[in-house]
Amino acid sequence: MNKLLGIECGATHTVALLEQEGKVTKAEFGPANIRLISKKEFSHLLQKIAKTFPKPQAIAIGIAGARTWADQEDVRKSVQKTWPNTEFIRVTNDLETALAADSINKKKSRILVLSGTGSCCYGKSINGSTSKLGGWGHILGDKSSGYEISLRALKACVFYLDRDDTWSTLGQRILCRLQLNTPDQLIDWVAKANKPEIAALAKEVFAAWLKRDKIATDIIHAAASTLAKDACSCAKKLNNQNDSIRFVLAGSVLLKQPKFAGMVAKSIRTYRPGSQVVALKKESYWGALELAREMTKCKSQKTTKILIKQASKIPIPDLELLGKSPTEQRHPLSNKLDRITLGQAIELFLNEDSQIPAAINKEKIKIQKLVRWVINAFKNNGRLFYSGAGTSGRLGILDASECPPTFRTDPMQVQGIIAGGSKAICHPVEGAEDNANAGADAIRFRGINKNDVFIGIAASGRTPFVWGGIWEANKSGAKTALLCFNSTLKTPQKNKPNIVINPKIGPELLTGSTRLKSGTATKLILNIITTMAMVQSGKVIENLMVDLDPSNTKLRERAVRIVQQLTNADKEQTLKTLQKYKWNVKESINYLRNIKIT
């Protein structure tokens, strides 16, 4: 008989249900919002559940905060490690498990309207398409949640105390619940309180509302209106305005405050006449068990395979070909790197690096074409984007960050993007480079367009994060290029960059360490691209940086020398002019060239 395990992880607690031979066993554990718990803590939580429910055949887990495929894939790996022999695993967010708990009338498009500790609206149509509004967490979102209702109440109470010198009845209720003596003590309490502790104060706001407290009434009415509008907006994203929708109210706030739920339902019907609005009859964790049942009904498809398919929509080079890349091969001259003398090693490194310029020079025509694209982009208010992972990403960020001080450019003009974000600049972020969708999103949310140039940097030529960026840049009409060092690379037919710059520099002396020759070659090429684009954009006269930003003593001294060399002005006159033009070198030169130097 199948053993099915459904798990729902939320901000306040985790519930696990095991179904075996028609009998369901329930157990509760600690909170597990993926944004508020460490990987180690989550692993310990799963181990506790595994001790209670070992060896299930199928596991479905919905976890709060799992917004992206990468989030869900991290959870899947942890689940697989905890239950290594489980045949079926499905990982999703807690919104889908809640919607799955509404097993009635699945032939109608449905919107989950969730308000508990947090809040979100999540829709699913008959054909399987989804929509979402909210789910940004308590700092950026959670409108009309228990947390936001409580926080608005706290702020309102202290506001009216300051303005009217009166402590409201709502404030009195809150102090009583928290066993605090004065409003001043709220400062220390709220600084230490976590999200569930603050959200728990919503009970006092609702109690005050039922007692017709004006402050509480304003807060509750606004929350109901906002939640209804968000639910209807979510439905509009999913369906045409006239389509029939089943709205399912869920979460502790809506389910434990029926009068509030009634207000929300009435508002939804006002905004969308004819809609069906119901409260979720079962606790949302039953949906996790329902998803586990669904998996075993179709044994030919494992959920793990479905997840991998979702991540592979963007065409990338075949992983199996990576081993043939020169970047992965052993260099025949460095087989004894651990035994040769230090002097011999230095000579070997320098000899290898000396061959890089010749290899780059063979790609000169392509580099010229790429530089012209960048020049044209700058002339048309376009931008240059670098994207890479690890060393490649850091080199892109380095080159981009040098442009503002060297050429007085807007920091938006040349941008470096690294897989894993700012944390990855100094520390590796596990799995970041393997997510093509994240690479596409990083470019999409920078607003790339047809006036821009995108350069993906990947020593092996295969980094999925980079190929995701190429995919999105191609879709937007931007010019695209790939910089790599893999002569065996085969680019995907449906995701080809406009140019592939691929110098043949051979294997690294330290096998696979692409921070060496590949990194050096990358730095040389990026130097050429931005420097010559800036030269052609009028930021250089002769071989002098006339648009540098003199932000320190050394650069100010350089600015003085540049102006003097190009105008023959003396130092006193140069300093006076630079100060007049707020250390704008180019404007100072133009001024001094147009007057008679004395």
Question: What does the pLDDT look like over 15-24, one tens digit per residue?
Answer: 999 999 889 9
Share of residues in the chain with pLDDT > 90 (%): 67
pLDDT of residue 71: 81
For the chain, helix (H) and strand (E) counts, in that order, are 25, 17
How much is the mean pLDDT over the chain? 90
Q: Are 326 and 352 in contact (CB under 8 A)?
A: no
Q: Pick 324-539's CATH classification: 3.40.50.300, 3.30.70.100, 1.10.3210.10, 3.40.50.10490.
A: 3.40.50.10490
Q: How many CA atoms lie within 13 A of 20 on its CB side?
A: 11
* Confidence band of 105 (pLDDT split at 50, 70, 90): low
pLDDT of 312 > 70? The answer is: no
What is the rounded distance in angstroms from the CA atom of residue 390 to the CA atom of residue 396?
10
* Confidence band of 241 (pLDDT split at 50, 70, 90): low
User: Is 112-279's fold the same as 324-539's?
Assistant: no
Q: Which residue has the tokens 């919503």?
A: 202
Global confidence as pTM: 0.72
pLDDT of 431 > 80? The answer is: no
Among 380, 519, 384, smallest CA distance to 455 is for: 384
What's the pLDDT tens digit per position in 319-375?
666 777 888 889 999 999 999 999 999 999 999 999 999 999 999 999 999 999 999
Active site residues: 402, 433
pLDDT of residue 1: 56
pLDDT of residue 306: 37
pLDDT of residue 299: 52
* Between residues 216 and 239, the one the model is more confident about: 216
Span 465-482, average pLDDT: 96
Residue positions counted in the chain? 598
Among 81, 77, 59, smallest CA distance to 69 is for: 77
Q: Pick 112-279's CATH classification: 3.30.420.40, 3.30.160.20, 3.10.20.30, 3.40.50.300.
A: 3.30.420.40
Pairing of strands 246-250, 453-457: unpaired
What's the pLDDT tens digit per position in 59-79?
999 998 887 777 888 898 899
Q: Structural domain boundaries of the chain?
A: 3-101+284-311, 112-279, 324-539, 543-593
Share of residues in the chain with pLDDT > 70 (%): 95
Fold of 3-101+284-311: Nucleotidyltransferase; domain 5 (3.30.420)
Side chain identity at 80, as an amino acid letter?
Q
pLDDT of residue 215: 95
Fold of 543-593: Helicase, Ruva Protein; domain 3 (1.10.8)
